[in-house]
Structures are given as structure tokens and as C-alpha cells.
Amino acid sequence: MDYSFLLLSCTIHKSQYVAEKLRHLDGVNEATPVFGSYDCIVKTDKMTPDDVMQLVVSSNALLMLLVCFFSIPRLR
């Protein structure tokens, strides 16, 4: 299964709002506010760059985005 992990930096005090909004989007499996260098981590089905841009546009509280794509091989 292929996944994308999105590490988000949000405007101040908006990480909970962003996580809650993203949880309702198609393709988003998990969205969790965190503390540290990033404000929110999002696990999605594998996204194209266009899908990522659509996600960024849908939230007006994002300041920065780092995308990590993972392909996990299936074990038989």
C-alpha cells in the first residue's frame, strides 16, 4: 500500500482546526496535531502533486508543507 505523510506548519493556534478540517477530506486516513517542528501530521492515500496542492488550497491556515511518499511492499 502506498501512503503519503504530510508534515504541516500552521498559523499559530490553528493546528487543531487544520487537523479537524483535513480529517473530512477524501483520501485522508489520519490527521493529528503534534508539538515540535511541525504542527500537524497527516497520513493519506498516495497523493499526486496536484492532490497535495488541492489540499493546501482547501486550508487557509497552512504556512508550510513537507510531503513524504512511502511505498510499503506487501509481504506474502
Residue 15, H or E segment:
helix 15-23
Q: What does each of the 76 residues of the chain score in pLDDT, given as a tens digit? A: 678 888 888 888 888 988 898 888 888 899 999 998 888 898 888 777 788 777 777 766 666 666 666 666 666 6
Residue 20 within a domain: yes
| C-alpha span between 67 and 63 (Å, rounded) | 14
C-alpha cell at 57: 488550497
- The count of domains in the chain is 1
Residue range of the domain that includes 14: 2-71
Confidence at residue 31, expressed as pLDDT on a 0 to 100 scale: 92
The CATH number covering residue 67 comes to 3.30.70.920
Residue 76 within a domain: no
Q: What is the pTM of this model?
A: 0.74
Residue 46 within a domain: yes
* DSSP string covering 23-39: HTSTTEEEEEE-SSS-S
